[in-house]
Copies of this chain bind each other. A is one copy, B any other.
């Protein structure tokens, strides 16, 4: 039928319409300066008229690269938004798009499985966002020709890794307490399987032990306010408890509410520090001092690391992005 158009307009169609060769059309796209202006205009008109759009597959096939970075989300949490934001912005800036796959709820995805799936997709390199332990972490070997960066606090034997310095952040918070004259610091953890929680706990322990202080038994939470509240009720009964480090702000708020309900004041009676600095969004005039990680920066670094390693996939590096202590008034100075 006359109305039955060919589905896709190719460079060849454009070339014919413009009365030039295929290669000239290619040049108009890739090296326009090497084409005379009059020719360029003809080609542009033809492209416009036919509605030409370059074919990604053909182009990639010839070039041997895709201009895409794969992102595997093993876990999608609040902080992940900002991280993805950073990855996406950095990718954009460097002319890359992102190809994304996600571990499905309930599914148990290994690194090897993730790598296998990713390597079937259009990617030049990949980023794994891994916030929980995974079975094959230590034995995993990335494809030799596909730069792989893992966002995780653990060190990996062969892959580059990028992480917030969670341990350092926790240490910083603890030292802040100690430098303000506190003799001990209690800790409320997040979910057991979370690497963030584990690292924060580790930093807390290390900071105390470095001063010769025996860390008290940590209280187990689950990230939500109610678990912090429960912990707070327990802590309110401990006479030696002047400082509490909670593994996130929501639990810190729970702790503070429990203390208040028990007749204790923050910071006069007990000082509290949280993590993530997000309480101000929900609580008016929030006083909570908090350790904030720069998730956006983390994403940017991860992407840059991948791009930098595209030519040398087997290179290996370790990047730590430091946290920041956002000071408010939930910590009392016991000195003097």
Contacts and interface: CB of A to CB of B under 8 A. Distances in A.
Nearest to A278: B282
- Residue among A78, A81, A284 with max Cβ neighbours from chain B (10 Å): A284
Classify the secondary structure of A's interface with B.
mixed
B102 A225 contact: no
Contact of A284 (B53, B56, B73, B254): B254
Interface in A265-287: 279-286
Interface in A99-123: 99-102, 104-105, 119-122
Interface in A215-229: 223-226, 228-229
A257 interface: yes
Contacts of A64: 7-8
Contact of A282 (B66, B120, B250, B284): B250
Contact of A80 (B81, B102, B228, B258): B81
Contacts of A228: 284
Contact of A56 (B55, B85, B122): B122
A39 to B, nearest CB: 23
A50 to B, nearest CB: 12
Contacts of A279: 282
A32 interface: no
Contacts of A154: none
B104 A101 contact: no
Given A97-B121, A102-B85, A145-B7, A280 B54 contact: no
Interface of A: 7-8, 51, 53-58, 60-61, 64, 66, 68, 71, 73, 76-78, 80-81, 84-85, 88-89, 92-93, 97-102, 104-105, 119-122, 143-145, 223-226, 228-229, 249-250, 253-254, 257-258, 279-286
17 contacts: A7-B145, A8-B64, A53-B119, A55-B61, A56-B57, A56-B60, A57-B57, A57-B66, A68-B121, A76-B84, A81-B81, A88-B101, A98-B101, A100-B100, A122-B122, A228-B284, A253-B283
